[in-house]
Amino acid sequence: SEDELIASGLSYSVYYTDDSEADFSTVDNILAKGTLGASDLKTLSATISMLAAGTDYKFNVVVRDANGEKYCYSPIKVQTKTA
């Protein structure tokens, strides 16, 4: 639940790229090659705006724990709807 998320001390940031060749599977690569879409989230959802229609994107989430350590999930690929 969101209450548990807040209590855990975790913070989530969403990054994306339209570079289909980018390695988006490590924190260092995400931070170097990604665009920050939403930061310091304490909720379980985010809206990323200003994406181009009909474009392939890779997304990943960087998690920061209470000690400042950063981790990431596996990237996902999505295509935005055509306008």
Q: What are the pLDDT digits (tens) for 48-65?
A: 989 999 999 999 999 998
Residue 5 pLDDT exceeds 70: no
What is the average pLDDT across 67-71? 93
- The CA-CA-CA angle for residues 28, 30, 32, to 5°, reads 65
| The predicted structure's pLDDT at residue 75 | 96
- 46: CB partners within 8 A, 6+ apart: 12, 14, 37, 38
Residue 1 pLDDT exceeds 60: no
Q: If you compute the radius of gyration of the chain from its CA atoms, what whole number of angstroms results?
A: 13
Return the SS3 of 10: coil
| The predicted structure's pLDDT at residue 2 | 57
Dist CA 7 CA 75 (whole Å): 26
Residue 25 pLDDT exceeds 80: yes
- For a pLDDT cut of 90, what percent of the chain falls above it? 65
